[in-house]
Structure 1
């Protein structure tokens, strides 16, 4: 038996619930993690989610900003939310599965702060917040490094490698690919002994993106993408992954998110 796990920054779940339905119809993920749902818990379109076949749903939202949600056809027994970087933003949701191929595995769904436009924490509080969040993620990864069966997914808002961006040289001073971010992300990965499940199946130097800006007049022609959306796993879970897909075509759907879904198959 194998399952499909997908992660997607949906950029408003109520606005794009039709695109969620399209993803489910065409790719049938057994577990779907959304970020930037921009929806308070009491306004979440739960009925639409149930109609898509997900009987197990966990949400952590706030009105108009941030927000994460996890839909599953597999039962989970516990859910948890943690507070990060001295803010109560809805940016994290953890679920531990009770049965199936992911039994005993804890899935962490994250939406890391974008960090604003200026990569200087002294003058940009948003970037300072992002770096604090990243430091806390590294400490947290160290604490859980010896626990088995864990997956971390989401919009981590960092493109870690030169081949995860359209131009390494031109983006070195652009938030999401600055050295302080990429080096911090690698420190976090090593601290948690995380395996980048996507790059385990699509190795460097192949270019790979999951985000294209709305600002481009023709995103396909410019193709100035970045890989901001990630699926990481502990070594035991990563060893059971058999393939990944980055659904570039979803960027061309009607009224799309600027991110596309990333899917991993796990035996």
Structure 2
């Protein structure tokens, strides 16, 4: 049996957050770290930050100033792959095979703009289409898989600070929630965040930079997720949201998630 600790974090520019990324790795010591919104081309990615800490196996899919995902690992990574679920070349996915037979997929779903209407806001349509392409992929998925990342959807009423206030706000609209529900059903994905912190308990992963005091207002949303194939979910022993990272110096507006598996 192998114990694995896998972390996921929308870092909102990896080069701007080098100190806190290093601190998180030193304190938490995950075996694998998945990053979203790295905002760096592969040639500009701070690979040494990770290699110096033993994360010498790296799968990168970067893009200048926008998007970008990366998987950094202390264990070998095989069968690197990229899906263009955005269908426009944006760097929003990278996947690998771990030696234990686990497929690990790292995804950054588009935010979707401000207006929840695909006719008035093409970005919202792109987001829904992205999730639909993930759904079609999930239907044919046979490998035991863990998919992590910033899904940019808070699906449950208790996943936001105010369900009533956010019903018409992109990330919590009924059409997005329904789309994410179809994605979950397509493979029987198990939402590890709500497996270990059952609804309706408070469980947020994102707080806006616009809030003058995020701790006082606590206007959070659960936008970041870890979903597992049923067989993988049965091997999960712990899941944690590292909320204190939101208060670190020059933080991301998202915080890391960590799952522990016994494979």
TM bucket (normalised to shorter chain) is over 0.9
Q: Which residue of 1 aligns with 2:125?
A: 128
Instruction: Name the counterpart of 2:251.
Output: 256
How many residues align structurally?
261
Partner of 2:39: 38
1:210 corresponds to = 205
Q: Which residue of 2 aligns with 1:221?
A: 216
Unaligned ranges ≥5, structure 1: none
Please list, as runs of the form range in 1=range in 2, the aligned pairs for 1:1-267 lying within 5 A after superposition. Answer: 1-98=2-99, 103-144=100-141, 147-267=142-262
Shift of 1:192: 1.3
How many angstroms does 1:135 deviate by? 1.0
Range with greater deviation from structure 2 (196-205 or 32-41): 196-205
Unaligned runs of 5+ in 2: none
Cα separation, 2, equivalents of 1:157 and 1:85: 14
Shift of residue 148, structure 1, vs aligned partner: 3.1
Per-residue Cα deviation, 1:179-198 (whole angstroms, up to 9, x for no partner): 00001101100101111112
Q: How far apart are residue 115 of structure 1 and its match?
A: 0.4
Structure 1 position 236, deviation (Å): 0.9
Distance in 2 (alpha carbons) for counterparts of 1:85 and 1:252? 32
CA contact (8 A) 2:138 2:186 kept: yes
Distance 2:4 2:19 in 1: 23
* Preserved contact between residue 148 and residue 236 of structure 1 (Cα < 8 Å): no
Q: Aligned equivalents of 2:42 and 2:149: distance in 1?
A: 19
TM-score (norm 2): 0.97
Instruction: Give the distance between the partners of 1:30 and 1:78, measured in 2 at CA.
Output: 18
Conserved in 2, the CA contact under 8 Å of 1:37 and 1:67? Answer: yes
* Cα distance in structure 1, aligned partners of 2:87 and 2:180: 20
* Deviation beyond 3 Å, 4+ runs, structure 1: none
* Counterpart-to-counterpart distance in 2, 1:58 and 1:17: 18
SS of equivalent to 1:53: coil
TM-score (norm 1): 0.96
Asked if the contact 2:86/2:92 (under 8 Å) is kept, the reply is no
Deviations 1:232-259 (A, max 9, x none): 0101111011111101100000000000
CA distance in 2, matches of 1:10, 1:44: 13
Cα-Cα RMSD: 0.8
TM-superposed CA distance for 1:140, in Å, is 1.0
Q: Secondary structure at the match of 1:65?
A: coil
2:58, 2:77 within 8 Å by CA — same for their partners in 1?
no
How big is the shift at 1:155?
Answer: 0.3
